[in-house]
């Protein structure tokens, strides 16, 4: 692997452009991480959705209710555990690529696992803030989304706890929230256009009121999520780099020091967990 480009301040447009370049050069690694972690749960959710719809057609309310609860549980598990795990693993992989180091899907997933508790805390804390912010006439939610866009990269690269990672993201984003908003809205619009196109195509060809139409749309929508997730993670990681380059003179040498220190910390935590298991 080769380093993509030198670290330098980037505009929102250049961050998106570099994100696409990174994804195209390392698509098998990044898409592999996304697929390995999200596909099993996505497949289970689609299967439960099918059972729920079949139970509704047969007017079997208890089974439909149970399937609905299981589906909701899987969605929560996906949103607050699997997605943060995939984001953490992808952030680690992107940083290793920048340092011209070989990294496998398994290594990245393992590193994400070592930080899963902190990633979960960030996901829940940021998610609750976004929900509250959107209920408060939307604008506060958008501001918070921009403020905490770099929280996941901060947790992975700096090895800090959830509260400190969110604080770091908020401080680094000051004065750059418009750039963050431009990147977030572009990726969101891309996802919206693709999913809407799929919906209308399925509705025209199969009909969304049919079981096969609903299942096809669910499968395609999950596929879009798995495919586009790495792009959003890359953009968030590059935003974090850009913040620190502008405000702290961040460079590849500092990234190498940070990643090496966090790798040692993760190994020590895993070793402690294994030792505790043996003592038990």
pLDDT truncated to tens, each residue of the chain (280 aa)? 454 456 788 889 999 999 999 999 999 999 999 999 999 999 999 999 889 888 888 888 889 899 999 999 999 999 999 999 999 999 999 989 888 888 999 999 999 999 999 999 999 999 999 889 888 878 888 999 999 999 999 999 998 999 999 999 999 999 999 999 999 999 999 999 999 999 999 989 888 888 888 889 889 999 999 999 999 999 999 999 999 888 888 776 667 766 766 555 554 444 444 343 333 2
Q: How far is CA 3 from the centre of its chain?
A: 23
For residue 99, the model assigns a pLDDT of 82
Q: What is the pTM of this model?
A: 0.85
Residue 146: CA atoms inside 13 Å, Cβ hemisphere, count? 18
Residue 173: CA atoms inside 13 Å, Cβ hemisphere, count? 25
For residue 275, the model assigns a pLDDT of 40
Helix ranges, the chain (H)? 12-25, 27-57, 61-77, 83-98, 105-114, 116-135, 139-147, 151-158, 162-173, 177-205, 211-248, 252-279
Q: How far is CA 185 from the centre of its chain?
A: 16
Phi-psi region of 137 (alpha: psi -120 to 50; beta: other; left: phi over 0): left
- The first and second tokens of residue 12, run together, are 């929102």
Residue 21: CA atoms inside 13 Å, Cβ hemisphere, count? 13
């Amino acid at each position: 692997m080769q380093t993509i480009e030198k670290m330098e301040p980037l505009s929102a447009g250049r961050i998106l452009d570099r994100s696409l370049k990174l994804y195209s050069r390392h698509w098998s690694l990044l898409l592999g991480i996304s697929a390995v972690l999200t596909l099993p749960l996505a497949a289970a959710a689609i299967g439960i959705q099918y059972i729920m719809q079949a139970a509704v057609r047969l007017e079997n309310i208890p089974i439909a209710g149970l399937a609905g609860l299981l589906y909701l549980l899987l969605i929560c598990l996906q949103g607050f555990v699997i997605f943060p795990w995939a984001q953490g693993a992808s952030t680690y992989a992107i940083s290793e690529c920048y340092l011209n180091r070989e990294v496998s899907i398994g290594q990245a997933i393992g590193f994400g696992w070592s930080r899963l508790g902190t990633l979960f805390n960030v996901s829940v804390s940021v998610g609750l803030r976004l929900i509250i912010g959107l209920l408060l006439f939307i604008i506060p939610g958008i501001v918070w989304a921009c403020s905490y866009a770099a929280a996941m990269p901060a947790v992975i690269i700096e090895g800090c706890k959830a509260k400190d990672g969110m604080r770091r993201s908020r401080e680094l984003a000051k004065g750059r929230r418009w750039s963050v908003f431009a990147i977030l809205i572009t990726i969101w619009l891309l996802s919206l256009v693709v999913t809407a196109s799929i919906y209308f195509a399925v509705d025209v060809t199969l009909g969304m009121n049919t079981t096969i139409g609903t299942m096809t749309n669910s499968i395609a929508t999950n596929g879009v999520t798995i495919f586009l997730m790495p792009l959003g993670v890359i953009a968030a990681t590059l935003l974090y780099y850009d913040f620190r380059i502008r405000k702290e003179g961040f460079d590849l040498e500092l990234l190498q020091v940070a990643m090496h220190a966090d790798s040692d910390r993760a190994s020590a935590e895993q070793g402690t967990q294994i030792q505790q298991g043996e003592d038990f």
